[in-house]
A and B are shown apart, each in its own frame.
Chain A
Amino acid sequence: MTGKDEAELSRLLRAAIAGDERAYADFLHRIAALVRGFARRKIVQGGVDPEDVVQETLLAIHVKRHTWRDDAPVLPWVYAIARFKLIDAFRRRGRRIEIEIDDIAETLAEPEAETVSERDINRALDGLPPAQRSVVSAVSVEGRSIGETAAKFGITETAVRVSLHRGLAAIAKRFGRAT
């Protein structure tokens, strides 16, 4: 990672918070790759799936993006959240780990690709009320737009947005609550 990436990520997140969905998708993909590299290097004993940490971190970044100060660097913010979620994942599985607090090693993380397996997020999704669950599934797994999802269930786009927002917040909260 370089200062140029930092500047680019800050720009993307600023645009995303202003409502630019394309900038947000770009931002999230880049962050996912970085956090994946971070989680894979930190998880050496096994027991925790790095991809679960990636997903929990992305959700936390999403529901807590109002905590980012747009004049502050974005990478320390991202890695602080990732480290918190990593420690949380270990704690939940009854393990203790020591994580060095050096940001330098983290900034060397190379983007990495995803591996596929059963996910914690699926269990969290299954715990949602049916209306929220079907909307979240339609938009994510089935890849439908807000408009298509509204047509599929015969509800308004506003109702889809509300269910989606509440569903994502509930999943994020469920990760936070588990101890």
Chain B
Amino acid sequence: MRTDDLIKALDADARSKAMPLRSVWWVAAAAAAVIAAVVFFLTIGPRPDIMVAMHTMRFLAKFVFTIVLAVTAFGLIRALSTPGASTVRAVAWMAAAPVLVAVAVVLELFMVPEVMWGTRMVGTNMMICMGFIPLIGIGPLAIFLWVLRYGAPTRPVLAGAVAGLLAGGLSATFYAAHCFDDSPLFVATWYTIAIIVLAAIGGLGGRLFVRW
């Protein structure tokens, strides 16, 4: 087939419509949040003393970390799924969540006596945390990988990993409402591991599934 012939076929198909990728990302984000919420409320649900906990800094700080991670990853993944879009600024913003967590960890180390560091870090919920963050996040991750496939990421593995971070940030935001371990030492350790698990699954999904 000559290229001119191919152009005739593409031109004849000019009227076929597809939803702009930009809009699809917002729909996907909303759908992912609904799925995460449903899984969260059907399984572990929020902690019973949530109204009291909301008045403590450590509890609220968890949401700052996870929401910042989700928002920055959302910005980056939209750029990564669009060919030729600049990712420099979005990549720089990805440092925000780790920096906030690092600052909180340093403050915690100053405020809490050294003998308690270990207890604070290990917490009481570590296995639930490592199990439920990936569990709540896996549905959203599947949606985000599907959108990547609908888009055109020129670096599919990286884009898949960022989809995992986005799913992780979203999932951890819900999980944080359940978890009794509010110390930044716990968050920095176990939330990070659980989110990295999702990022690794996302990267693998990007490699195997995001072809275009």
Contacts and interface: CB of A to CB of B under 8 A. Distances in A.
Interface string B1-28: 1111111111111111011111000000
Contacts of A109: none
Interface in A116-166: 116, 119, 121-122, 125, 136, 139-141, 143, 145-146, 161, 164-165
Contacts of B183: none
Given A24-B10, A168-B13, A66 B1 contact: no
A4 interface: no
Contact of B84 (A58, A62, A77): A77
Q: Is the interface of B mostly helix, strand, loop or mixed?
A: loop
| Highest count of chain A CB atoms <10 Å: which of B2, B11, B211 | B11
Contacts, number: 123
Given A19-B14, A21-B14, A66-B18, A140 B82 contact: no
Nearest to B210: A176
Interface in A24-71: 24-25, 28-29, 32, 51, 54-55, 58-60, 62-69
B150 to A, nearest CB: 8
Given A66-B20, A67-B83, A141 B10 contact: no
Contact of A122 (B1, B9, B22, B81): B1
A32 B3 contact: yes
B3 A54 contact: yes
A51 B3 contact: yes
Determine the interface band of chain B, counting residues with CB < 8 A from chain A.
20 to 34
B133 to A, nearest CB: 30
Contacts of B12: 21, 139, 145-146, 161, 164
A60 B10 CA distance: 11
A145 B9 CA distance: 9
B42 interface: no
B168 interface: no
A143 B1 CA distance: 11
A29 B11 CA distance: 10
Nearest to A149: B12
Given A66-B18, A84-B83, A28 B1 contact: no
A118 B3 CA distance: 12
B33 interface: no
A54 to B, nearest CB: 6
A170 interface: no
B112 to A, nearest CB: 47
Interface string A73-93: 100111111011000000000
A28 B10 contact: yes
Contact of B7 (A58, A136, A161): A58
Contacts of B152: 60, 64, 67, 81, 84
Interface of B: 1-16, 18-22, 81-85, 151-152, 154, 211-212
16 contacts: A21-B12, A24-B14, A29-B4, A32-B7, A66-B19, A66-B20, A67-B83, A67-B151, A69-B22, A72-B84, A76-B83, A79-B84, A80-B154, A84-B152, A119-B1, A165-B16
